[in-house]
Structure 1
Amino acid sequence: MSDTDNDERGFFSEFPMAHQHRVPERTVAAPAKAKAPPKEKPHYHGHRDRLRARFREGGAASLSDYELLELLLFRSIPRADTKGPAKALISRFGSFAEVLGAPERLLSEVDGIGEAAAGDIKAIAAAASRMAKGAIAKRAVLGSWTQVIEYCRAAMAFEPREHFRVLFLDKKNVLIADEVQQSGTVDHTPVYPREVMRRALELSASAIILVHNHPSGDPNPSRADIEMTKTIIDTGRPLGVTVHDHIIVGRNGHASLKGMQLI
């Protein structure tokens, strides 16, 4: 077979590359990926935005108790609707203030409220109490009586057990210390007049205000409350420690033994 009869495929394969006629390759574009539809925001996102806007524009007065609770729960419950848990809290405890005052253990039992959210609610309650206490610190207590009552209610009105506390004042009636002396049951707490006066002398207090709560909600003093107050007054008189008042707080208000002319 002559050279001219060689297979053309061999001829072209041996031809120098520089002289070969190269056919440009056709680039095939990859098929475009279909765009995923945008994710819809959970329905409660718009509700949260509207609630925040109402609060910014009208303050707390523009929101009901459960709506204010919703607002507080936004950060504690970031991925769920907070309206249901907020309404459940109000239904269980009665009011915004009573929710803040409820024991953490009971808060965590409400549907939608776990341990973290219950802890956050108690932290908010502590902040409110600290703020109220700041309103009477370093100033004459008798000239800030409304703030004193507000502080006592914030600190004790919704406690499930009786607590007896004493506000110790210096000679200018400025708050020296605020201490819970005793804790008791749902309807009784023991009080020891000598211990109250011993602590007053330790702090160099010139006057005191007695405070305790009635978990029943009714702040009206009992006969035992009145007699115990008179005993403390009599114990403090020879020591130069004056009892300015005995305040009883409850969910339904407060009572002042001095205001009622019982001491």
Structure 2
Amino acid sequence: MSAEAILQKARAVMGSVMHPLETAGSTWTELPPEACQPEIDIEETLDIAPFGPRDGSEIWMSYTKKRPQPLVLSVDTSLSMTGDKMALTAVSLAVVFLQFPDDPIGIVAFENEARVIKRPSERLGTLELIERFLDVPAQGYTHLEEGLTTTLALCSKSFKTGRSKPVPVILLTDGKYTAGRDPSYLAKRFKKLIVMKMGDERAGEELCHELASGGRGTMKLVAGYEELPLAMYGVVKSLLRAVCN
């Protein structure tokens, strides 16, 4: 499946999602283009210019803007992920990116070793992200421990430790590791770990549940990769619903 076809498939999954908003303020001259529902704050304006504003730099505006939604995805790209599985995983990543085009999203892929596909601070178009992910060779064993360790390091480097809200991490795995140690000891280091358990095999389900429970998150069973894009869209909606409430 080409990158363009993957992008089209992701768009077909999409629906409307309510993004959380936050209140901000600036002068008229510094009002950002993404400002929503801007209004003159008379009280603040009079504090700046008691005798009336002379120009836009003395007019204070209040407005709302979309609150950034940080998110990190950790994805199994081992040998079992070749062909359609890799393409459908790319569709699910595109679903996330289409929902959060300007947000700090990080992606880690792991097999024998883990690699950072995208850092949260990096600006990347959705098509470019898909092409970058498809270039990852699906090979080797499943080193889940290495994948989670690299994901934790990326979160630590990219986000402030004193954040009022935890940065969600979405882990895509079947829960069966073939390299490294049992990674369950890492769960408690996550603030919000959502595990999308791939496949309907019972093997690996216990570990996935342990990771989600220890990581203060939830586990979602996804029976087949054909269901993954829609399941990912559901997880995205749940995350935003929790932020808005």
TM-score (norm 2): 0.28
Structure holding more strand per residue: 2
Give 1 or 2 for the bigger CA radius of gyration. 1
Which structure carries more relative contact order (alpha carbon 8 Å, separation 6+)? 2
